[in-house]
């Protein structure tokens, strides 16, 4: 059976909504971007938060209900919409905790993971 069909079956069985899938893909991208970084810079403010690698190559920032990814300081792409909370906390010098909540059609979705 082709790999794409197997992947689709996994998502169909384990993830019930588009928001579930968006959160899983976001977590995968964030982990892939930062898992090889030697150190991460975190900024938390009352209305915005951001996480970036120490070289400034990749940055995820939260503002106005959106998470935006910037690469090499040029251009940006909105990764997630309708985000109500994005908290980043440094657990150890090489480990961070990401806590994210988003609302879709009146339902709140929550995801917590470590990078």
Give 3-state DSSP helix, strand, coil % of the chain, rounded to 5: 25, 50, 25
Q: Phi first, then psi: what are they for 36, rounded to 5°?
A: -100, 0
List pLDDT tens digits, range 43-88.
887 667 777 777 778 888 888 899 998 888 888 888 898 999 988 8
Residues 6 or more apart whose CB falls under 8 angstroms from that of 88 comprise 42, 44, 49, 50, 51, 96, 97, 98, 99
Quote the distance between the C-alpha of residue 38 and its chain's center. 19
Q: What is the pLDDT of residue 83?
A: 92
- Compute the mean pLDDT over every residue in the chain, rounded to the nearest whole number: 78
pTM: 0.74
Tokens of 41: 């810079």
């Amino acid at each position: 059976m082709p790999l794409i069909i197997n992947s689709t079956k996994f998502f169909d069985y384990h993830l019930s909504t588009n928001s579930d899938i968006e959160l899983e893909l976001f977590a995968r991208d964030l982990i892939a971007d930062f898992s090889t970084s030697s150190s991460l810079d975190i900024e938390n403010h009352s209305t915005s938060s951001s996480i970036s690698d120490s070289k400034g190559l990749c940055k995820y920032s939260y503002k106005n209900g959106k998470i935006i990814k910037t690469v090499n300081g040029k251009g940006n792409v909105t990764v997630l919409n309708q985000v109500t909370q994005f908290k980043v906390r440094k657990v150890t010098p090489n480990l961070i905790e990401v806590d994210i909540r988003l609302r879709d059609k009146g339902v709140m979705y929550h995801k917590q993971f470590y990078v």
